[in-house]
Chains A and B, each alone.
With several copies, the nearest count.
Chain A
């Protein structure tokens, strides 16, 4: 059975296993570019103790599948995997994995960054930070919106 391209899960992941699966999913791939996002220790001047990740079940998966489909139209991709964690995460925990296999390294890099950029601005996840000063919803960043604009 083919593994799903998108997993939304509370559990941690092993980037090494995901990269191996991407290499094997398509015979001999040439290139696998990947990205791992990690819970930062600081944001907007405050120390982060933990993070609560809320999402919109159903729409989350749907929006990431649509982003992957757009990436596949732009670049010749052999395999893609996206994992995003939800629920309570600690400082330094992994949050997100995006991996892309292609014959061409330029395509693998570009598609991996494209998927991350659109995931950041389109997939319905919301982070609530717990800092020493209390809890707060994380503000969306204009730099993330600008990051998607350059792909137009």
Chain B
């Protein structure tokens, strides 16, 4: 299983903070699988400025996934 997290505006737009889903080949395949959850999901997760982190390291959508990976989707950061 994958541990999938959403933060900030993405969390709000998807109305989802965290979910678990079956392991797939890579992040692109995960987005494809998540897109079945609602009409907004593909738009939100494919937006050009979305940042993807796997196990808390920033990656791109071709990143390969493994069982128990933690995958996070979030907008550009605005701390400090």
Contacts and interface: CB of A to CB of B under 8 A. Distances in A.
Judge A-B direct contact (beta carbons within 8 Å). yes
Interface of A: 37, 53-56, 58-59, 62-63, 84, 95-96, 105, 116, 119-128, 137-140, 144
A137 B9 contact: yes
B56 A122 contact: no
A139 B74 CA distance: 13
B68 to A, nearest CB: 15
Contacts, number: 70
A140 B79 contact: no
A54 B8 contact: yes
Contacts of A37: 80
Most chain B beta carbons < 10 A, residue from A62, A120, A124: A124
B56 A84 contact: no
Given A56-B74, A58-B56, A120 B80 contact: yes
B56 A126 contact: no
Given A54-B8, A56-B56, A137-B9, A95 B78 contact: no
Contacts of B48: none
B7 interface: yes
13 contacts: A56-B56, A58-B56, A59-B53, A84-B79, A95-B79, A95-B80, A96-B80, A120-B77, A123-B79, A124-B74, A126-B9, A137-B9, A139-B78
Contacts of B75: 126, 137, 140
B7 A56 contact: yes
B72 A127 contact: no
Contacts of B56: 56, 58-59, 62-63
A148 to B, nearest CB: 12
3 smallest beta-carbon distances between A and B, as pairs: A125-B79, A140-B76, A126-B8
A63 B76 CA distance: 14
A68 to B, nearest CB: 14
Contacts of A59: 53, 56, 72
